[in-house]
Structure 1
């Protein structure tokens, strides 16, 4: 492994809750590194990394933006991610390819809902993280209060390496607590927190600290990079990005404390596509993080996910809206590849040997129907949405051609607004979205068997018997086969294995069936009459027959919530929670505020965040997180219109399937 070649590279993601000042911080970094000549503004719509028209007009980041700058001899690939929960899928994809992270918080609002979601994802992936507390010049800024909140809600290993000088309108800058000498009084509390956190990492240091009441300054400075990179400590820095205060010391920490990428220079090509863009001249552009090997212009590269090979026409290093043809991408680095017209987000390039797994954060809980303003626009709307679904696969576009319907999965109302805007400005199309409805799921109510003998009309022969059992909540689908290959050839068994997940996309109520174990316990083919597609046809009929015997339970998506309200609003809030079928623990009263934690169904609480503000006269704090699916009460029912013919109507289903095959020849 040739790690030395990557020592000059850093791959860093910038993460935050919306409005913590993430894009402004990125803008300042690019300006101070000399990458841009003048500062852009989020409010004015001139920020370098807000390159979509919708981002400029709305003042929010919608897509992760990759940019690149040099600082102190280092090349930093910086990815500015969206802060709004509706665009969590962009954060999810960026996490996969980062070696280090900067998490930005506002010193006024502190730890917010999205901050916690991102933090848990960063910890799940063990990504070394710097915490930057921004907006110290704002009214209401509370640096020490924010630091205590970080240590309570995120990690007790968060430790300040700086102290602010003043706050709000007296904020004058920051001072490092790592400089030897007589510390100003205001830095002593911050230094003590750092020393205590570092001392607890090693017995010898702890003994020294207990004996002397302090740690040698050079000991702290020397150990900080290794402690940060191992996740033993999370350095906290301060600043006011709007005024450019604290930016250069943040950049210094990024290059000295966050790790270089590990890369296999002389290994096989191994990388992942984490982002797709479109360019008017070059067509589809795939952003690739390479973990092993080297790729060059005009190379033909194998796409393991799709089992295809595609030729590279150009490799570009992208800086916001500027691009440079570099012709080469080496392990450890990130670049944009042109020429891969089939590439999709998540595709593994070369082999998967060195590519880390995915982190699932974003779970779309709502589905919407798209309507177009004029019949003539129908084909163009389909094509545009297919293109947008390539850029964000979680949209999961469902095009029901017979019913002439289009359905998308979405995270929330802001995403619907942005999609409307994109369709209008990028494609010149006017489309409307119906009211969002909640995505339910189904699960078997008990154990049972499904059987199908598809032997007519000839030529065909496929006999299958499935055992269907309920699984643990959140387990998804577990499939196995217990049939000898002489009874059912391996190639037919493979067809069944491929068809089972497809067959479970629509259960008895039309929703995806999950949390179950399916075992193929009997199977039979015919030497003369069987074709592999017979099993693609038979599997849904066998599965649906099984579900009709087991029956299904309806599952609904849940949110866990944490809220804090003035004590006088507590009674009204609890009544609201009960009306929404909420479950919650005994409220805790702290300093005349009531704190409540619990769970809420998504279906009953769609408008709750909007109503919460008026219920508490703007003095409440609400954080919600997706908490998985759970069984609906017996009085809740939800059925979705089935796409296509129901496999329970076997004769009609066979006819429809065979006609589709005949039509495709």
Structure 2
């Protein structure tokens, strides 16, 4: 039996989870179709998902379609959880993108389709809710062609739109030939010769859909079941089955981590090659860790079932790997399809309630961060504060509710602030020599900081001979450099730079006659870890740094007659419109806006546009803060920018 790992994606409220329920019912996995409103759906298992009626975490369930076993992954639709969606995309063989027949193409729909096309994931489009008042089909297909992809192939016609009796009749429409001949010269030649047979046209459709070149469009209703059978046939016929050699080296990717009933980690992994068996010891992650798999479950018949092994193509639940993290490779690392995670651009301080235990709160936040590595935690021991990075305000509300429902912890949050970065303004160098004042450490360290291209991150280089001292000391310097760059001159992470080690020196292991090792006369890793932050801080001072704030690129569609009131409001929120295009009654505005102003702007738009604004925004780049007060972030380390304070803290810590 073939396997297909299928993602269901959509803008929030387009009916994605309802369609999942209908597919499971059609396959006989469930007896009755669950309701999002009633909180009875199969894939929204979190209490918070049922309460709010939205999908927060990706969920996996399987069902048979003819000779294919489909592992269906229901993904979040709200843009605040786009990281959860992007992780799933890397393990898919195909996708169904759900579009509402009433609301049409929405902001998140466009974000998702762009990502699906960039990754080359074969995708079917399902126009849902044709039974709802105001439903459209041909208009929505045109909008899909204009705003998502021009390569759409309508797969049938609708009748009774906007009524409970709405239906979808499958059948290729004449427009299919025009689209397919753009990608198939042989088909074009056959058309010119008047020899295009239905079977030839169908084969071209299958080939081009599996290549991700064209996108068949179906229609129906997840509530009534109209059109779902046609969609199921399309899934079976048009999307490619999972491939992979079960006899090859084990290679998989973890796309989700959760906690089991006993608090143990459970990893969701897609396998692309090989066969993994229970009690196998395997490498995972990027640091050469190994672990023994104690239990394996695969998805079959609508649920997960214990098995002794999992082979290429399947998705499995793995237990026994306590240090596993989302994004880790299992076995042989696989070359990804180039998906990119936009970084979280906002930050907020978690404020515990009066009766909330801070230690328990720290443990709970750490567990939640394990499930989403793009949501970072920052602990300030001096102020006894924890900050969490976020994508948006809804995510903050969900985090608050999750801590209350799953951990019994009452928290609030301070105001959301932008998560900035620092980049070096120029080059700077510093060094301190062993046994020379004011250096109290038995180490010589010299470092030079140079700017690097935007997006290059942090690179560490050597201008000294690798054999000039033990490798462990070089490693201590590099690790400390990378850690120390988490807080620059203004407290933000420093990136896009090259740090070069220019000086090195140490005292070799020494001992008195007939006695053991004399630490006071010999260099240790502690000396290099202690001195490096001071030298790096001096080099950064000489180089200087520039704070950059996160910027979102936005696309706004509004009634043209509201532009007069809208443009001043955009300016007031520091948004910069880069283009304005009026097409009939609608105006399209594109530009950039600081991430910190997005939420306030979203709240203003309905009042400025009679509730007709369509807003789309996503992180685009970091821009230098050139005007106003430069944002600063309190430090959480021993502050090497203040030498006296730093040395007092470090020496006290080791009893010096």
- Please give the range of the TM-score, normalised by the shorter of the 2 chains: over 0.9
Equivalent residue for 1:384?
364
SS at match of 1:648: coil
CA contact (8 A) 2:29 2:301 kept: no
Equivalent residue for 2:560?
567
1:23 aligns with 2:21: no
Equivalent of 1:393 in 373, 397, 400:
373
Equivalent of 1:435 in 405, 415, 439:
415
Equivalent residue for 2:174?
192
Equivalent residue for 1:286?
267
User: Taking structure 1 as reference, are residues 310 and 293 closer, same or farther at Cα in structure 2, changes over 3 Å only?
Assistant: same
CA contact (8 A) 1:306 1:347 kept: no
Equivalent residue for 2:113?
119
CA contact (8 A) 1:12 1:99 kept: yes
User: Taking structure 1 as reference, are residues 34 and 659 closer, same or farther at Cα in structure 2, changes over 3 Å only?
Assistant: farther
1:33-76 residue CA offsets vs partner (Å, 9 max, x unmatched): 11111111001000100000000000000000011111102111
Equivalent of 1:331 in 290, 312, 328:
312
Equivalent residue for 1:182?
none
Equivalent residue for 2:585?
592
SS at match of 1:530: coil
Equivalent residue for 1:350?
331
Equivalent of 1:232 in 213, 224, 229:
213
User: Taking structure 1 as reference, are residues 498 and 444 closer, same or farther at Cα in structure 2, changes over 3 Å only?
Assistant: same
CA contact (8 A) 2:556 2:614 kept: yes
CA contact (8 A) 1:158 1:236 kept: yes
Equivalent residue for 2:514?
none
> 2-side partners of 1:229 and 1:500: how far apart?
47
Equivalent residue for 1:311?
292
> 2-side partners of 1:509 and 1:503: how far apart?
13
Shift of 1:162: 2.6
Equivalent of 2:33 in 35, 39, 47:
39
1:77 aligns with 2:71: yes
Equivalent of 1:95 in 73, 86, 89:
89
Equivalent residue for 1:253?
234
Shift of 1:247: 1.4
What is the 5 A alignment of 1:367-516?
367-374=347-354, 377-453=357-433, 455=435, 460-516=441-497
> 2-side partners of 1:350 and 1:33: how far apart?
34
> 2-side partners of 1:662 and 1:249: how far apart?
74
Stretches of structure 1 that go unaligned for 5 or more consecutive residues are 1-6, 179-190
CA contact (8 A) 1:276 1:286 kept: yes
Shift of 1:166: 4.0
> 2-side partners of 1:249 and 1:103: how far apart?
15
Shift of 1:489: 4.4
Equivalent of 2:187 in 177, 183, 205:
205
User: Taking structure 1 as reference, are residues 153 and 533 closer, same or farther at Cα in structure 2, changes over 3 Å only?
Assistant: farther
Equivalent residue for 2:519?
none
Equivalent residue for 2:344?
364
> 1-side partners of 2:491 and 2:208: how far apart?
51
> 2-side partners of 1:155 and 1:480: how far apart?
45
SS at match of 2:22: helix
Equivalent residue for 1:184?
none
> 1-side partners of 2:476 and 2:188: how far apart?
61
> 2-side partners of 1:436 and 1:9: how far apart?
44
SS at match of 1:395: coil
Equivalent residue for 1:187?
none
Equivalent residue for 2:103?
109
Equivalent residue for 2:620?
627
Shift of 1:510: 0.5
User: Taking structure 1 as reference, are residues 102 and 459 closer, same or farther at Cα in structure 2, changes over 3 Å only?
Assistant: same
Of 22-31 and 410-419, more deviation after overlay is shown by: 410-419
User: Taking structure 1 as reference, are residues 170 and 424 closer, same or farther at Cα in structure 2, changes over 3 Å only?
Assistant: closer
> 1-side partners of 2:72 and 2:625: how far apart?
43
> 2-side partners of 1:429 and 1:102: how far apart?
38
> 1-side partners of 2:98 and 2:473: how far apart?
53
SS at match of 2:494: coil
1:300 aligns with 2:281: yes
1:596-624 residue CA offsets vs partner (Å, 9 max, x unmatched): 11111122333111110111121222111
CA contact (8 A) 2:444 2:504 kept: yes
CA contact (8 A) 1:272 1:355 kept: no
CA contact (8 A) 1:369 1:434 kept: yes
> 1-side partners of 2:118 and 2:445: how far apart?
41
- CA-based RMSD of the aligned residues comes to 2.4
User: Taking structure 1 as reference, are residues 660 and 49 closer, same or farther at Cα in structure 2, changes over 3 Å only?
Assistant: farther
CA contact (8 A) 2:441 2:527 kept: yes
User: Taking structure 1 as reference, are residues 139 and 471 closer, same or farther at Cα in structure 2, changes over 3 Å only?
Assistant: farther
> 2-side partners of 1:225 and 1:563: how far apart?
36
1:216-258 residue CA offsets vs partner (Å, 9 max, x unmatched): 2211112222211112212222111121112122122222211
Equivalent of 2:247 in 258, 266, 276:
266
CA contact (8 A) 1:113 1:625 kept: no
> 2-side partners of 1:420 and 1:391: how far apart?
16
SS at match of 2:270: strand
Equivalent of 1:60 in 48, 51, 54:
54
SS at match of 2:125: strand
